[in-house]
Amino acid sequence: MKDLVLGVDGTRASASATQWVAERCVREPSRVRIVNVIGTLTADRHASLELLERAERVLRDRVPGQAVELLRADGAVSRALARLSAGADLLVIGVDPDHPVRAAIGGWVPVRVVARASVPVCVVPAGWTQTDGDVVVGLADDTSSAAALDLAAREASATTKKLHVVHAWALPGVVVESSVIEERPDRIVEEHRALLDAAVRSLQRRFTDVDIESDVVRSSPVNALLGHAERAALIVIGTHHQGVLAGGLTGAVAQDLLWRARCPVLIVPEATPITDRLDA
């Protein structure tokens, strides 16, 4: 049985995150801890309890007998959720892509949660509805995607049976010799295709029930992934956890996806022991 932590705050995005968790519990037995974080100076504990109980009803209406624990926490949202989700299989929160200014005023809470959490975080957009689209996963040039690839394949195996692996590449910023300009692009594409093919072969050996497609795209990682977002059931990326403004498939990419993708985005820390935990 999996251990999920759901952060709720009474917003439309929070309601979508709750629905996403409920649908997940339908297909996979899980324990759910529902958390509401309240400020110590403006705490309304009665309203907090109402939020928690509302989310509990949604889960139990969808999954009668669902194991649920209600928790209130004081302090900063990102710190509290990171602390309470430590050791869990998954942390789930909502995001409202239509209101980035409001999010900025509120301190970019979803981004801060992702930056602090030590476990995979699924960020569900407001207005989410379930689809049968592909699970889309980004493959980086380094090791940061290993756990994300594994978890994405497991998600596909448990849901749509369709996985799309996307690898983005770009030419170096400065190329001096004209002969290099003529020859290098083809060689670069071959190198990136070899990296992608190796990753796909590894997944195919372990997930024989999943239909796996792949693309090498000359683009930024964000645009390459967003090209699949409208039809995707889920986008999965890995992260080094080097900070909220780190490059690569880490903070910068995660930030853009959170505010622009219209499907859930699952961010997986590089060191997450996916295989051991999800097979337990």
Structure tokens at 40: 């110590």
Tell me, what amino acid is at 176?
A: V
Q: How far apart are CA 198 and CA 200, in angstroms?
A: 5
Per-residue pLDDT of 73-84, as tens digits, reads 998 999 999 999
Question: What pLDDT does residue 99 have?
Answer: 64
Strands 121-125 and 265-269: antiparallel
* b/e burial code for range 24-44 (CB count within 10 A of at least 16 → b): bbeeeebbbbbbbbbeeeeee
Structure tokens at 75: 């302090």
What lies within 8 Å, CB to CB, of 153 at 6+ separation is 135, 137, 163, 203, 206, 207, 210, 212
Report helix, strand or coil for 122: strand
Question: What pLDDT does residue 43 have?
Answer: 63
Q: How far apart are CA 232 and CA 265, in angstroms?
A: 10
Question: What pLDDT does residue 248 have?
Answer: 39
Per-residue pLDDT of 150-206, as tens digits, reads 999 999 999 999 999 999 987 665 554 554 455 566 788 888 999 999 999 999 999
Q: How far apart are CA 9 and CA 95, in angstroms?
A: 11
Is 2-125's fold the same as 134-279's? yes
Question: What pLDDT does residue 177 have?
Answer: 52
Q: CB of 120 within 8 A of CB of 212?
A: no
Q: Where are the domains of the chain?
A: 2-125, 134-279
> Which CATH superfamily groups domain 134-279?
HUPs (3.40.50.620)
What lies within 8 Å, CB to CB, of 105 at 6+ separation is none
Question: What pLDDT does residue 42 have?
Answer: 56
Q: How far apart are CA 266 and CA 92, in angstroms?
A: 9
Q: How far apart are CA 120 and CA 5, in angstroms?
A: 11
Instruction: Report CA-CA distances (Å) from 138 to 58, 81, 168, 257.
Output: 32, 25, 8, 12
Tell me, what amino acid is at 136?
A: V
- Listing DSSP states for 204-261 in one string gives HHH-TTSEEEEEEEES-HHHHHHHHHTTEEEEEEEE----TT--STTHHHHHHHHHH-
Query: Taking the model in full, what pTM does it have?
Result: 0.88
Question: What pLDDT does residue 101 have?
Answer: 55
Structure tokens at 211: 């239909």
Residue 100, phi-psi category: left (phi > 0), alpha (psi -120 to 50), beta (remainder): alpha
CATH of domain 2-125: 3.40.50.620
Instruction: Identify the segments of the chain with pLDDT beneath 70.
Output: 40-43, 99-107, 171-185, 241-251, 271-280
Question: What pLDDT does residue 272 have?
Answer: 52
